[in-house]
Structure 1
């Protein structure tokens, strides 16, 4: 599988948990030798301004975070474009699903997923998309941006029962037809992370569901990294998910 990544994502650009030293390194260590790394390139100004307001972009610039946030958004675009023909993963940060058009919170600045899907739509590579966000926290920014556009079906699974959680994802993926599946992949609902619900094998199951749906519906698929804060298990969880996305 092709994984979009850049060494700049290892820098501690803020003091929040998403920027903590060792987070990206843990994933790289776990998946090295199993994937093909492609260096991320920053999103263009037009890609970002298609999703975010001028005032929000200016705020990110003033905070000195524009370059790293644009690089993450660019990595998401690259994964989405590759995902049209084969599964791809954007190993990026900052995350993005709490970023709305004119505001952001939760360690996010630009909405990487929204920017990537809008790029595909603008270039007429897709008509409809399915967005699975399995991060522990509800992706309010993505919903705020994408729900009103009408071409994206968004599914944020929520259950305190692990089996029902997985069944909910399965039902969501089977609900409609679409041209691509975009996954906001947050691993903070693992039993040894903040959420305490899912196992590492569950992430492989979710990845396999995405792959299987893509095969059945003949659509593309890609994923972008969102949350996941226990560095000891994060790499294993990402690897399991990627193995599932490859049909494992």
Structure 2
């Protein structure tokens, strides 16, 4: 399976948990030789400004975070483009699902999912998209940017009981009809992370369900990293999702 990554993502660019030292290493050391690494390239300013206001972009520049945030957004575009023909994972940071058009919070700066899907749409590669956001925290940025677009459907599972969460996610995916399924993959819902809900094997299940539905729609499928902060389990959780997407 192809994974979009760049060594610059190892950089500790701020003091927030998404940028902690060792977080990306926890993943790369686990998935190791099981994946085909594709170097990330930065998103163009045109791709970013199609989603974010000029003032927001200037604010990110003033924080000294434009380059790393643009690299993450570019990696998301690459993952989505490759995902049109085979499942792909964007191993990127900073995350993006709390970034709105003119503001951001929650360790996010640019909305990687929105930038990727809007780039595909502008290029005529998709007509419709579905976003599954299984991060612990509601993806308000995804909703703020994409929620009013009639070509995108979004879902943040609300359940707080593990069995209900998986059952409801399966039910929702079974009704999806889209050219591409994008997953905002936050692993902080894990039983040993902040959320304390899901088990590692659940990420395999979700990945396999998403892949099966994409195949049923004759569409694409990709995922990009959002949250996940327990380095002891993060790599195994990502590996489980990739195995499910590859099943």
Give TM class, smaller chain: over 0.9
Deviation string 1:60-81 (CA, Å, 9 cap, x unpaired) is: 0000000000000000000000
**Structure 2, gaps ≥5 residues long:** none
Name 2:226's counterpart in structure 1.
Answer: 226
Alignment of 1:1-248 (within 5 A): 1-247=1-247
TM-score by length of 1: 0.99
Offset of residue 27 of structure 1:
0.2
Offset of residue 176 of structure 1:
3.2
Distance in 1 separating the partners of 2:102 and 2:29:
36
Distance in 2 separating the partners of 1:176 and 1:39:
31
**What's the RMSD between the two structures over aligned residues?**
0.5
Deviation string 1:146-166 (CA, Å, 9 cap, x unpaired) is: 011111110100111101101
Q: How many residues align?
A: 247
Distance in 2 separating the partners of 1:220 and 1:25:
28
- Could you list the runs of 4 or more consecutive aligned residues of structure 1 that deviate by over 3 angstroms after TM superposition? none
Distance in 1 separating the partners of 2:25 and 2:204:
21
Offset of residue 223 of structure 1:
0.4
Q: 8 Å contact 2:130–2:152 — kept in the other structure?
A: yes
| Comparing 59-68 and 164-173, the one that deviates more | 164-173
**Structure 1, gaps ≥5 residues long:** none
Distance in 2 separating the partners of 1:172 and 1:76:
24
Tell me the secondary structure at the aligned position of residue 130 of structure 2: strand
Q: 8 Å contact 2:176–2:213 — kept in the other structure?
A: no
Distance in 2 separating the partners of 1:179 and 1:86:
13
